[in-house]
Amino acid sequence: MTPSPAFAFAAVAALVPNLTPLDTLTSGFASIARLPRGVTVTEGSRGGQTDQAPPTLYDMEGCHFCRRVREVATELDMVVNLVPSARGSRSRDALAEYAAAAGSNVQVPFLLDGDTRLFESEEICRHLIAKYGATVDVPGVGTGFVASALRLGRGGLVDKSALPAPPDRPLVLYSYEGNQFCRLLVASHSLLLQVLCELDLPYELRSAGKGSPRREELKILTGGSSQCPFLLDPNSGVQLAESADIVEYLRGRYSRGGASVGSS
């Protein structure tokens, strides 16, 4: 039997104590609004089979244009270095320099892929599809507007509790943009991406959508489970496999006093 929305939202709120009912409701609907994009690896993609350095994406979780790029990254089974770039982020100075060199406004998403520099989400998606190859349509932005509007700006501003300097080494996150495991944790997973952005934490995104060979890596790391998300923190050696546990850990280690993200 499929759990009712009310039961699902209550279950997630119980898992993440700092998650308000409004957070839960909007996170869940925002994730569902974009399905089925960003869930399954497209046959013929080469994103997971390259010896080149992973591209770097300056990204903001609450941005619908960034969302479509992350969806394509999942469908191409890519590893991407994610640089959170919400308002107030440490990365904004570097982003401004790239924008000035390109004659562009300071905006996200922004892709660095070898010698390639791209600011527009449409161009970024087309570049990734051409280079990491598969028959993938560029996602539309219609429901992306809806998903972002539902989140009421969350993931768009660095929280006051964020530490002034990033970790020595980027975190590693096995995930995929359309993560819908068990439905009960949709909102919790969306909150995880929001927290990474609001705490201004760079991370290496290792896409592990349905059909990804990277799920075998996960089974080795977890002792048999390929469930996403899965966090590796090379700075502490911590490994966590539940969204609620990861959110709690990030807040406790990477915010001043373990303050609640999103506080004013």
pLDDT score, position 20: 53
- Of residues 31 and 17, more confidence is placed in 31
User: Is residue 193's pLDDT more than 70?
Assistant: yes
Instruction: With respect to residue 93, please indicate whether it lies within any of the assigned structural domains.
Output: yes
Lowest mean pLDDT among 12-21, 33-42, 208-217: 12-21
Instruction: With respect to residue 246, please indicate whether it lies within any of the assigned structural domains.
Output: yes
Instruction: With respect to residue 263, please indicate whether it lies within any of the assigned structural domains.
Output: no
What is the CATH classification number for the domain harbouring 220?
3.40.30.10
Instruction: With respect to residue 69, please indicate whether it lies within any of the assigned structural domains.
Output: yes
Q: What is the rounded CA–CA span in Å between residue 186 and residue 250?
A: 18
* Domain tally, the chain: 1
Q: What is the rounded CA–CA span in Å between residue 37 and residue 199?
A: 26
Q: Residue 240 — very low, low, confident or very high, per pLDDT cuts 50/70/90?
A: very high
23-34 confidence digits (pLDDT tens): 554 555 555 555
Residues 6+ apart with CB under 8 A from 54: 78, 79, 80, 81, 204
**Six token digits for residue 188:** 């919790």
> How many other C-beta atoms lie within 10 A of the C-beta of residue 4?
9
* pTM over cut 0.85: no
Q: Which domain holds residue 195?
A: 5-258
Lowest mean pLDDT among 20-29, 133-142, 156-165: 20-29
Instruction: With respect to residue 124, please indicate whether it lies within any of the assigned structural domains.
Output: yes
Lowest mean pLDDT among 95-104, 186-195, 209-218: 186-195
Provide the percentage of residues in the chain whose pLDDT is more than 70: 69
